[in-house]
Structure 1
Amino acid sequence: MILAAGRGERLRPLTLHTPKPLVKACSVPLIEYQIRALAAAGFNDLVINHAWLGQQIEDHLQDGSRFGVNIVYSPEEEPLETGGGIFKALPLLGEEPFLIANGDIWTDYDYRSLQLTTGDLAHLILVDNPLHHPGGDFFLSDGRVVEAGEACDRLTYSGIAILHPALFDGCKAGTFKLAPLLHAAIAEGRVSGTRYAGQWVDVGTHERLAEAEQLIEAST
């Protein structure tokens, strides 16, 4: 599932008339980088949620066939936050663990590396804390995401993960965040994680869009 329902307010005026995932980096919409990387890793069936100007996303990507994938959409009348958006899309995602990736990041991460250990509810890809988020999000210790502890590194959540549908047991339709569900699962010892040291940019501002373009140009 590619998460594409954000408004991208810090990227205005680019996002006044264009949904954030269709903002271009080096002449290619951000979400296309994700789709092509997922297709290269063998993911054939994708779900994309959208809200702000979402019809533009459907019109541009259509059924995904030109990328070698099948895309179905989970439209939201108003953004449901990450947790609510995924919960709404669960009927499209099936009963097995599924990958999620933010549609507004650029990375050279190889999605074939993702795995979920039996019994876990989530596996998170974490990155070193960028300048705009120095405090990080989660602690990682020996491949497990923990609340805190000695000799733990607090890292930033990359927006890439594998989730088990059971993570959402007991949830109700509506707007809610993903983080509280993850913290509850962490408290139960059911979340693993990997530290990724490759290229990754959360394209949330004009400055970070320029950073992504520099990395893209350097990699081609």
Structure 2
Amino acid sequence: MKAMILAAGLGKRLRPLTLEKPKPLVPVNGKPLIVHHLEKLAGSGFTDIVINHAWLGEKLVAALGNGSHWGLNIDYSAEPEPLETGGGVFKALPLLGDDPFLLVNGDVYTDYAFHSLSGSLRGLAHLVLVDNPDFKEVGDFALDSLGRVQADGQNKLTFSGMSVLSPELFAHCKSGAFRLAPLLIDAMASGKVTGEHYCGLWTDVGTVERLQSLEKHLNQSRVK
């Protein structure tokens, strides 16, 4: 199974840290955020990685190269302008091939074991959901007792930005910028999206404040 890391965001909420470097290269616990993903993917048995990029993308390519440092093969999908989550994946499909692939947002930090997702797809998508963080009052999707994800329901959870997707999810899409969520919601209506509730370490490193909070947590954990 191949994996794709979404790394084309502008990182506006992380400025000034992202004025001269793309968001995935912002350091967390002593190394770029995206390197944590690459190390975990390599340790989970993944070898082929696709990374999309836009803002200061040349710096991302220069920093990561072909991935051989981590025993990986990295292909890049360059976007002149960010194509959002759905559009970015759609553009990268020729690099991802015809089989299901792992998708992970480049701006999340987690201790989730990626290898556990390799055989989880039973429809068009399988999503990892997490408890709603302090900065988000309402969740995204509901998870029923049969493991199906629904757009509506009680006790909504937050979509972690980690999933396994089938290329068939994008069968009717066209080139351009569009979000992933509407595609998922359409598939949910047909019962073709499953999910799981992960209760381990996860955070969206979307702002300077969240980055500082994560660093504090990791430092405290290291001391213990």
Q: Please, what TM-score do these two structures have when normalized by structure 2? A: 0.94
The residue number in structure 2 matching 1:192 is 194
Query: Which amino acid in 2 is paired with 1:145?
Result: V
- Distance between the aligned counterparts of 1:218 and 1:156, measured in 2? 25
**Within 1, Cα distance between the matches of 2:127 and 2:48?**
21
Partner of residue 47, structure 2:
44
CA-to-aligned-CA distance 1:188-219 (integer Å, 9 cap, x gap): 00000000000001001111101221233344
**1:55 to 2:58 alignment:** yes
Q: Distance in 2 between matches of 1:18 and 1:78?
A: 16
What is the correspondence of 1:56-205 to structure 2 with a 5 Å cutoff? 56-114=59-117, 115-118=119-122, 120-142=123-145, 143-149=147-153, 152-205=154-207
**Structure 1 segments of 4+ aligned residues over 6 angstroms from their partners:** none
Amino acid at match of 2:97: G
Q: How many residues of Structure 1 are paired with residues of Structure 2 in the alignment?
A: 217
Q: What residue in structure 2 maps to residue 13 of structure 1? A: 16
Name the aligned partner's letter for residue 77 of structure 1.
P
Task: State the 1:148 CA deviation.
Answer: 2.5
Q: Is the 8 A contact 1:201 1:211 kept in 2?
A: no
Question: Identity rate of aligned residues, in percent?
Answer: 56
Please give the alpha-carbon distance, in whole angstroms, between the structure 1 residues aligned to 2:43 and 2:18: 28
Q: 1:80: Cα distance to partner?
A: 0.1
Instruction: Write the deviation string for residues 36-82 of structure 1: whole angstroms up to 9, x where unpaired.
Output: 01111001000000000001000000000001111010000000000
What is the one-letter code of the residue matched to 1:146?
A: Q
User: Following the alignment from structure 1 to structure 2, what is the Cα–Cα distance between the partners of residues 161 and 215?
Assistant: 25
Unaligned runs of 5+ in 2: none
SS at match of 2:217: helix
Q: Deviations over 1:125-181 (max 9, x none)?
A: 0000011111011111121101324xx420001010000000001100000000000
Question: Aligned with 1:109: secondary structure?
Answer: coil
C-alpha RMSD of the superposition: 1.1
Greater shift, 207-216 or 83-92, is seen at: 207-216
Q: For residue 95 of structure 1, give the secondary structure of its aligned residue in structure 2.
A: coil
Unpaired runs of at least 5, structure 1: none
Q: How many angstroms apart in 2 are the aligned matches of 1:87 and 1:132?
A: 30
Q: 1:217 aligns with which of 208, 219, 223?
A: 219
CA distance in 1, matches of 2:39, 2:175: 31
SS at match of 1:153: coil
In structure 2, the CA distance between the partners of 1:47 and 1:219, relative to structure 1 (3 Å rule), is farther
TM-score, normalised to structure 1, is 0.96
Contact 1:3 1:101 in 2 (8 A): yes
Asked if structure 1 preserves the Cα contact closer than 8 Å seen for 2:121 and 2:164, the reply is no
